[in-house]
Amino acid sequence: MTRERQSGPSSIASALTRVLGHFGLADKVQEYAVVECWPSVVGEQIAKVTVAEKIAGGKLYVAVSNPVWRNELVFLKKDLIVKLNREMRKDVVTDIVFK
């Protein structure tokens, strides 16, 4: 079976996306990106008191330095999930666990 060459150049990003998808790594890369973008998405004030540690099964685990902030963030959880998924352009985060 031969593959036809695509007409026109493809971007490095789209080629990389295809390769990552082929090896089943695209979701892992997006999960890592969620952890990395946490400070910019939540803003400076929240970023000062939190650290996004990991994401597993759609759950983002966030360490919070102060119990008062932890309680406040529980109320903001839905909005934060929406913001993170909007940033990723895909529903990557289904829940946030504040600890």
* pTM for the predicted model, two decimal places: 0.75
The identity of residue 11, as a single letter, is S
Q: Can you list the domains of the chain with their CATH numbers?
A: 12-98 (3.30.300)
Mean pLDDT of 75-90: 94
The pLDDT assigned to 73 comes to 96
pLDDT digits (tens, 9 = 90+) for 30-81: 777 788 899 999 999 999 999 999 998 899 999 999 999 999 999 999 999 9
Strand order in the sheet with 59-64: 50-56, 59-64, 95-98
**For range 20-36, the mean pLDDT:** 70
- Of 16, 31, 32, 37, nearest to 83 by C-alpha is 37
What integer pLDDT is reported at residue 11 of this predicted model? 75
* Cα atoms found within 13 Å of the Cα of residue 27, Cβ hemisphere only: 8
